[in-house]
C-alpha cells in the first residue's frame, strides 16, 4: 500500500512540474571545430555552447541534420551519440556529425570560389534536434551558421 501511495505522489509531482512552461534550448555558438576522416566517412566535431533554462536535464538523442558548406548542400549528417544537457546551465557540449566523404567533396568548388571572392565560408547546420526527458520526447529547431577559417576548411581535404 505504501508503494502505491509513493508512486501516486511521485506522479502527481511530475504532473505538476510538467504543466510548467518548457523553454527552448538556446544554441549560442560553435567552438573548437575539427574534422577527421576515417573509413570513407567524415567526422566533424565541435563544441556547441547551449543554454538550458529549464529545471530538468535534457538528453539530445541521435538525430539527422542537414549540412551546407558555402551554400552548397553536403546532405544529411548524423548526431550518433546521446548528449546530456545539464539543467539551468550554459555550457559547452561536444557534438560529432558523421557524413559520407563524397558529400563533402561536392562543396569544395563553391567553397574555393567563396574564399576567392572574399565572402568567407559558411558552415550551416539545420534541422530538428531530437531530445527527451524520461518518457517525454521533444524536437528543437536548429539553424546555425558558423564562419569557418581557411585552416578549418582545408582540414576537409
pLDDT in tens, 38-83: 888 888 888 889 999 988 898 999 999 888 887 778 788 888 889 9
> Which pLDDT band, with edges at 50, 70 and 90, does 129 fall under?
confident
Angle 151-155-157 from CA coordinates, rounded to 5°: 125
- 84-87, long-range: CB within 8 Å, 24+ apart, which pairs? 84/57, 84/58, 84/59, 84/60, 85/25, 85/50, 85/52, 85/57, 85/58, 85/59, 85/60, 85/131, 86/52, 86/57, 87/52, 87/54, 87/55, 87/56, 87/57, 87/58
What's the CATH architecture for 24-154? Sandwich (2.60)
What is the per-residue pLDDT for 119? 67
Q: Which residue has the higher pLDDT, 119 or 127?
A: 127
| Grid cell digits, residue 155 | 582540414
Amino acid at each position: 500500500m505504501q508503494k502505491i501511495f509513493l508512486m501516486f505522489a511521485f506522479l502527481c509531482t511530475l504532473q505538476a512540474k510538467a504543466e510548467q512552461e518548457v523553454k527552448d534550448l538556446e544554441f549560442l555558438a560553435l567552438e573548437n571545430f575539427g574534422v577527421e576522416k576515417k573509413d570513407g566517412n567524415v567526422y566533424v566535431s565541435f563544441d556547441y555552447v547551449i543554454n538550458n533554462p529549464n529545471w530538468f536535464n535534457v538528453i539530445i538523442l541521435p538525430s539527422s541534420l542537414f549540412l551546407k558548406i558555402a551554400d552548397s548542400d553536403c546532405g544529411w549528417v548524423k548526431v550518433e551519440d546521446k548528449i546530456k544537457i545539464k539543467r539551468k546551465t550554459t555550457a559547452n557540449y561536444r557534438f560529432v556529425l558523421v557524413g559520407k566523404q563524397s558529400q563533402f567533396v561536392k562543396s569544395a568548388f563553391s567553397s574555393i570560389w567563396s574564399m576567392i571572392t572574399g565572402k568567407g565560408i559558411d558552415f550551416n547546420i539545420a534541422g530538428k534536434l531530437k531530445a527527451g526527458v524520461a518518457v517525454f520526447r521533444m524536437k528543437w529547431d536548429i539553424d546555425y551558421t558558423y564562419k569557418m577559417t581557411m585552416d578549418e576548411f582545408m582540414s576537409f581535404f
